[in-house]
A and B are shown apart, each in its own frame.
Chain A
């Protein structure tokens, strides 16, 4: 962060020197234009991320994990994906941080300091699965625009905070409340101070669930800056974009929240399935709610060469609002499936751990495919699910390559 500021005040001569090249036409450079070689600070040390994490975009910051990095039962910060829509707020002052509850459907507007939230309400901890709605986007055909997530935009950390429903009860909400929308301290990429990068929310029923938290801790410590310090709305099982970071305000709405990225094709899919590549009118798009059933093999890392013909695998499975009921794996491209051992979730909306011992009949190249089934009997597809304009909700089976040598 500081390097960017620093770079913007460098003289052109020192910019040329740093780039190792003379800037031709430097005198005519547009005001505010910064050559690209200079503006990327090291995100791994900046955000305490593992070096094997993959940066998709450095402004705004977007970073994903690889499957084997997600092997922990509870995801530590260093393996947690980053999806930012705008610029991270600067100069956060926690002693003056306020959370305001307002909107058409509150009985009164009310504000709380961090201390008031922590002392006036009971705190709860839950392991909550947060997956970016666009996780898996890179596989869609025709391609969908946006960050090209592969499989690593998912995490299940332990979040601690107060229940949104307790705070809403304290404020008092009217019977016409249908939705809540968050407002945050991040700033728009264009620099326009009157524009929110993102302001999404959930229907009131989701807002009032026990596990919907106004969180102030992640994994037992303050929430890391890039994940929403000092306060984050956390709604597990839904697209992670509804879990607003750097939370300052929650509006209780008497209509579906209409903040930034609630409309158009953002976090919405065709209400009725469409053929790949179709144009879909805004009116025919519906907001994504619960995420679909999905799983990841987190051990071993893909590419294992095995001297024995026995392999232990393990991973996690999740199903949005639902539980995963069955977990299976296949080494013959789905011709036969073997049932895996599946644990119950630590709490509702936490991912579930699975494990299996696989025996390979002979030497050769194999792919281990994993398939989860939710409590309603819906399974992950082996091919890509329904195409949609922005490439959301790819829950196709995960697979790893192994060779018995």
Chain B
């Protein structure tokens, strides 16, 4: 009886040690950074749900934009901006010259057209009305 308890205990201990080793190995392998690899010109047409979750407007060119423009930073760094075609082109050139952005090849034209159409500038004037006021009672 006692011997059997000891055996159970030892095998449990062994299992625990094994699991710990396994866990450490797995968590360490998780530490390997996601690598950013320059994309080839082949682009997958993404499905609607993926597009919706990306935060980008669904329009022609969105698959190119998502796959090229969310590799280094989040989509919100892109979608916050309102730039003209020249402005988007200049931004892309700036990233190519200084931030390791790759040559976008034949996708560049589509990407710029998409961005200028869906994230183009709006006229704001020199000072806008106060926006988004939520009224509340103050005593």
Contacts and interface: CB of A to CB of B under 8 A. Distances in A.
Contacts of A382: 127
A372 B51 CA distance: 46
A302 B133 CA distance: 7
B50 interface: yes
Contacts of A301: 136
B30 A60 contact: no
Contacts of A367: 130
Contacts of A55: 76
Contact of A141 (B31, B47, B125): B125
B95 to A, nearest CB: 9
A37 B100 CA distance: 25
Contacts of A4: 34
A384 B30 contact: no
Interface in A20-52: 20-25, 28-37, 39-40
Interface string A361-390: 000000100000000000000111000000
Contacts of B100: 188, 190, 192, 195
A72 to B, nearest CB: 19
A276 to B, nearest CB: 9
B124 A141 contact: yes
Given A143-B83, A145-B91, A307-B139, A191 B47 contact: no
B47 to A, nearest CB: 4
A260 B67 CA distance: 26
Contact of A147 (B31, B45, B77): B77
Contact of B35 (A191, A302, A306): A191
Given A57-B77, A143-B81, A303-B135, A383 B53 contact: no
B53 A37 contact: yes
A303 B133 contact: yes
A100 interface: no
A384 B130 contact: no
A112 to B, nearest CB: 29
A305 B37 contact: no
B81 A23 contact: no
Contacts of B71: 32-33
A143 B82 contact: yes
A169 interface: no
Contact of A36 (B31, B35, B70, B123): B70
Contacts of B37: 30-32
Nearest to A147: B80
A281 interface: no
A195 B134 CA distance: 44
A19 interface: yes
Contacts of A19: 49-50, 53
Nearest to B45: A25
A81 B128 CA distance: 24
A305 B121 contact: no
A190 B72 contact: yes
Nearest to B97: A264
Contacts of A403: 135
Contacts of B135: 303-305, 403
Contact of B127 (A33, A62, A139): A139
B127 A143 contact: no
Contact of A58 (B31, B76, B139): B76
A112 B60 CA distance: 55
Interface stretch (A158-166, A202-210, A231-239, A393-401): A393-401
A36 B34 contact: no
Contacts of A29: 44
A8 B54 CA distance: 17
15 contacts: A22-B47, A24-B47, A34-B34, A35-B50, A35-B53, A36-B50, A36-B66, A39-B74, A145-B81, A147-B77, A188-B99, A191-B35, A192-B100, A260-B98, A304-B137
Given A8-B30, A58-B74, A190-B100, 18 more contacts: A4-B34, A5-B34, A6-B30, A9-B29, A19-B50, A31-B37, A32-B37, A36-B70, A59-B72, A142-B87, A143-B82, A145-B83, A190-B99, A190-B101, A191-B36, A195-B100, A300-B138, A383-B127
Q: Which 4 A-B pairs have the closest CB atoms?
A: A21-B49, A190-B100, A37-B53, A304-B138
